[in-house]
Structure 1
Amino acid sequence: MNTADNPNAAGEYGMTALMQAAHRGDSPEVDRLIGLGAEVNQRNDDGNNALWFAIRSGDAATVGMLIGQGVDVDNQNANGATPLIWAASAARREMVEILLASGANTGLKTLDGFSAQEVAGSREIMKLLMATHRQAVGQ
């Protein structure tokens, strides 16, 4: 795909160059693509935006860059999962912390009815989510 002509061109499975760079955790390439006009909230065929892929890569610089560009931190994919739900289920503490600090909604649920707290991959993540959720609801 020629990103110089169209940085939002989607390839196989609706993947854009930005999504691919985010998945690799390639923050310089993500920055370059954003400079070319890549849309941070464009979704692939599964309904995931670039943040989903950056969270999976575990690259804090890429995640921070996308958040700074206004990516939807609460984007729900075709299954209702958000980046926070995935990060919690994979026990990615740093990614969970970044998302929570960016205002990610702890109350969103998958189509099967599971929240990030309910799928937390570790007790530590579950406690972190519980504390944040209580703060959000004012308890």
Structure 2
Amino acid sequence: MTNTSASDESATLNDEQTAKVIGLAMDLAREGKTAELTEFLDHGLPVDAQDAEGNTLLMLAAYKGEVDTVSMLIGRGADVNMQNGRGQSPLAGTLFKGEDTISGLLVAAGADLDAGTPSARATAAMFGREHLLG
């Protein structure tokens, strides 16, 4: 017989609760609410958590131009090459959106220029932003 305290039971989230927490965290990433998102990570949310479409916190923050949030996520070890469910990489998304500063951060953090569909290299060529690839 296992002795489980009430605090142990409340620490485990069911699937619905987990989805809600991830959804809230994704909103914080999109909105650039770095301090609040950091608290989620400090309390155990994986830095590479993905939503139902496969987007990561980094992908959404990068796409929305949230420099401070992107910097924090990279500093926390976010995978700069993790693609979403459509095969898109964070770097390709920032090149598409014209987020020059964030593109530079991702390249400096080791983003793969040839990952994803289309690749960051192909996206840069489409939009005349090859100079952002380093």
Q: TM-score, normalised by structure 2?
A: 0.79
Q: Which residue of 2 aligns with 1:128?
A: 132
Q: Which residue of 1 aligns with 2:96?
A: 89
Would you say how many aligned residue pairs link Structure 1 and Structure 2? Answer: 120
Question: 1:25 offset after TM fit, Å?
Answer: 0.4
Larger radius of gyration: 2
Relative to its length, the structure with more helix (as a share) is 2
Q: Do 2:25 and 2:40's aligned partners in 1 also have CA atoms closer than 8 Å?
A: yes
Q: Which residue of 1 aligns with 2:30?
A: 23
Q: Deviations over 1:92-121 (max 9, x none)?
A: 1011001001110101131xxx21122236
Q: Which residue of 1 aligns with 2:122?
A: 118
Question: 1:15 offset after TM fit, Å?
Answer: 4.3
Q: Do 1:73 and 1:99's aligned partners in 2 also have CA atoms closer than 8 Å?
A: yes
1:9 to 18, 23, 37: 18
Question: 1:45 offset after TM fit, Å?
Answer: 1.1
1:40 to 44, 47, 54: 47
Q: Do 2:94 and 2:103's aligned partners in 1 also have CA atoms closer than 8 Å?
A: yes
Identity %: 30
Q: Distance in 2 between matches of 1:127 and 1:64?
A: 21
Question: 1:128 offset after TM fit, Å?
Answer: 2.4
Q: Which residue of 2 aligns with 1:102?
A: 109
Q: TM-score, normalised by structure 1?
A: 0.77
Q: Distance in 1 between matches of 2:24 and 2:132?
A: 33
- Runs of 4+ residues over 2 Å off in structure 1: 14-17, 120-123
Q: Distance in 1 between matches of 2:76 and 2:84?
A: 20
Amino acid at match of 1:74: N
1:62 correspondence with 2:62? no
Q: Which residue of 1 aligns with 2:81?
A: 74
